[in-house]
Amino acid sequence: MSDASATGGSPVLRMESVRKAFGGTVVLRDVDLEVAPHTVTALIGASGSGKSTLLRCANLLEDIDDGAIWLDGEEITDPRVDQDVVRRRVGVVFQAYNLFPHMTVLQNITLAPRRVHGVPRAEAEARARDLLERLGLGDRHDAYPDRLSGGQQQRVAIVRALAVRPRLLLLDEITAALDPELVGEVLAVVRDLKDDGMTMVLATHEMGFARDVADQVCFLDGGVVLERGTAEQVFGEPQQERTRRFLRRIVEAGRL
Amino acid sequence: MTVAKDESGQEGKHTGGKDDIPHGGADGYVPSQRRLERERHRRARARRATAIAALSTLVTGVVLYLIVVNAPGWPRTKETFFSGGYAREALPKVLEGLWLNVRLLLVCGAAVLVLGMLIAVARTLRGPVFFPLRVLAAAYTDFFRGLPLIINLMIVVLGVPALRLQGVTVDPVLLGGTALTLTYSAYVAEVFRAGIESVHPSQRAAARSLGLTNRQTLRHVVLPQAVRRQVPPLLNDLVSLQKDTGLVSIGGAVDAVRAADIIVGRSLNYTPYIVAGLVFVALTIPMTRFTDWVTARMDRQRAQGGSI
């Protein structure tokens, strides 16, 4: 989108002092986060640092223990808020795709527009075909998910999330389950979405990609955002010792 | 040795090659000598296996036959249980009675599927409003799964008429069908519930994240997958129901078992029971085979697709 001025607008997603524990394990201790419109935020950090939990909380798939979350200025962690209505405005793409195996690609994509948003079938299907075409899946709409490659499944999952025209897209390690040669096709889609102005938060282990595409990079460690900044800042001159150690390990593993 | 093989291989290619090359497709593939040799070996092994199986079956059959026929009580047993005359007399009556069993199966089977699904869904409902419903559904399945069917039948078929209630049927068929439905709904509800719980939580998460409500998630995402997965155990329960329809005879309804019973009571010859038993087996075999076929087909699909 061309209105670059909107980047400075009020945040699409804001988290303040968010705490979340599972039993005795505190996953998010005190998380603050702001995501401006039409920007991409990358969450990086070791496995178990709380990246996925943060995303699940932002979509109310998990109830937070303390703190608050705002979506477009509305506090969504208020218990009086209708969670179903909130979720309609946020799209999620999961690591394991989570496509519905008993539905065709087209049915997967049109389910929510038709059942939740009341879009007529023909219209929902037309939009689905259009999106599939754009993501290079134009010929696969009648296939069942288990007939698709991992990369194709993940692209269908992205289309499914986009079909409801979400305000915010959450991507949870969407390439982690893919073979290396399929990662590229999925990341290319994310790049296109960024160019279209979609606001996204992505948890990722693809540091090169995060560096490439993210406007804001957040390093999660010990249940807090330990370091945040532009990609150049966090990857180029990290301020925290733990960030430096994490990045060094990534470099040694050949992933940056 | 290798030399000899190679030579025979060249020969094989030239002579028999044209007709029986498997998959000799457009890419000009010609099976190697190695493959032909392997296939010859497999065929020989299969022939040997078939021969051994046939021989073994024959020997077992003969031994069993000799044991039974040489038992001291065999002549008498043969007369009481395997009398051709009584069998001919009983068969038409038993088949007439069987029609009742078939009707019971169809009606009760449909009722059981509907009721079982309702109970299973009731147990998964969330929210405080549904608390009594959840408790009732749980108590129902606990009770009727534990209660022996025969006792359930006696209570309903003999107990209800004894109440002499106005407007309540005393028809043993209707009451027997009710008792069967009560017990089998509890079993089938548990099958459905297991199916619902077997759907991975990530499916629910995906549906909810798309904005679907709890009810829409159940209706469009969870139940279709649950039912599909539970088809084999459901068919298994239906086979079982089919045979248990014979128990309504305890209330006096003239089904296949009761029809046999009547003749036995008159003649003191047990052949009609054997006839009734065989008729039931004959009725359940197609259903069992169908169940096997569906199960195998689903296993194959799963193996190919790798379900999520």
> CATH number, domain at A237?
3.40.50.300
B230 to chain A, minimum CA–CA distance in Å?
A: 14
Q: Report yes or no on A94 lying in a domain.
A: no
Contacts of B228 in chain A (CB under 8 A): 102
Domains identified in chain B, total number: 1
pLDDT tens-digit series, residues B222-236 = 999 998 889 889 988
Same domain, residue pair A138 and A27: no
Q: Comparing C-alpha atoms, which of B209, B208, B231, B228 is closest to residue B218? A: B208
Interchain proximity A98–B202, CB inside 8 Å:
yes
Statement: residue B306 has pLDDT above 70 = no
The pair of three-digit structure tokens given for residue B55, joined into one six-digit string: 């021989």
Of A166, A188, A212, which residue constitutes the final position of a domain? A166
Same domain, residue pair A138 and A199: no
Q: Comparing C-alpha atoms, which of A99, A132, A127 is closest to residue A114? A: A127
Nearest to A102 among B209, B213, B225 (CB): B225
Do the beta carbons of residue A222 and residue A214 sit within 8 Å?
no
Residue of B nearest to A111 (CA): B220
CB contacts < 8 A (A, B): 75
Interchain proximity B202–A96, CB inside 8 Å:
yes
Q: Report yes or no on B74 lying in a domain.
A: no
In order of B80, B219, B222, B228, the CA distances from B233 in angstroms are 38, 21, 18, 11
* Burial track A108-141 (b if 16+ CB lie within 10 A, e otherwise): bbbbbbbbbeebeeeebbebbbebbeebebeebb
pLDDT tens-digit series, residues B58-114 = 999 999 999 999 999 898 888 889 888 888 988 999 999 999 999 999 999 999 999
Supply the pTM of this predicted model.
Answer: 0.79
Q: Report yes or no on B12 lying in a domain.
A: no
Contacts of B209 in chain A (CB under 8 A): 59, 61, 87, 90-92, 161
Same domain, residue pair A57 and A121: no
Interchain proximity B212–A98, CB inside 8 Å:
no
3-state secondary structure of A202: strand
Domain encompassing residue A130 = 101-166
Burial bucket for residue B266 (CB in 10 Å: 0-12, 13-18, 19+): exposed
Look-up of token digits 């506090």: A75
Look-up of token digits 């006696």: B154
For residue B95, how far is the Cα from the chain centroid? 21
Same domain, residue pair A57 and A119: no
**Using a CB cutoff of 8 Å and minimum separation of 24, what contacts does B278-282 make?**
B279/B94, B279/B95, B279/B98, B280/B101, B280/B242, B280/B243, B280/B246, B280/B256
Contacts of A115 in chain B (CB under 8 A): 212, 216, 220
* Burial track B283-293 (b if 16+ CB lie within 10 A, e otherwise): bbeebeeebee
Same domain, residue pair A180 and A192: yes
Of A224-228, A240-244, B24-28, B290-294, give the lowest mean pLDDT range. Answer: B24-28
Residue B59, C-beta contacts closer than 8 angstroms, at least 6 positions apart? none
Q: Report yes or no on A9 lying in a domain.
A: yes
Q: Report yes or no on B278 lying in a domain.
A: no
Nearest to B211 among A94, A100, A164 (CB): A164
Of A138, A166, A194, which residue constitutes the final position of a domain? A166
Do the beta carbons of residue B235 and residue B191 sit within 8 Å?
no
3-state secondary structure of B28: coil
Q: Report yes or no on A20 lying in a domain.
A: yes
Of A109, A143, A166, which residue constitutes the final position of a domain? A166
Domain encompassing residue B136 = 100-247
Q: Report yes or no on B155 lying in a domain.
A: yes
Same domain, residue pair A220 and A193: yes
Same domain, residue pair A68 and A176: yes
Interchain proximity B208–A94, CB inside 8 Å:
no
Q: Report yes or no on B107 lying in a domain.
A: yes
- On the CB side of B203, how many CA atoms lie within 13 Å of its CA? 23
pLDDT tens-digit series, residues A214-249 = 999 999 998 999 999 999 999 999 999 999 999 998
Same domain, residue pair A186 and A77: yes
Same domain, residue pair A10 and A72: yes
**B166 interface with A at CB cutoff 8 Å:** no
Same domain, residue pair A12 and A73: yes
**Mind listing the pLDDT tens digit of every residue in chain A (256 residues)?**
444 444 457 899 999 999 999 988 999 999 999 999 999 999 999 988 999 999 999 999 999 999 999 999 999 999 999 999 999 999 999 999 999 999 999 999 999 999 999 999 999 999 999 999 988 888 888 999 988 998 899 999 999 999 999 999 999 999 888 888 888 888 888 999 999 999 999 999 888 889 989 999 999 998 999 999 999 999 999 999 999 999 998 888 876 6
Domains identified in chain A, total number: 2
pLDDT band at B252 (very low <50, low <70, confident <90, very high): confident
ipTM above threshold 0.95: no
Same domain, residue pair A38 and A152: no
Q: Report yes or no on B170 lying in a domain.
A: yes
Q: Report yes or no on B297 lying in a domain.
A: no
Q: Report yes or no on A194 lying in a domain.
A: yes
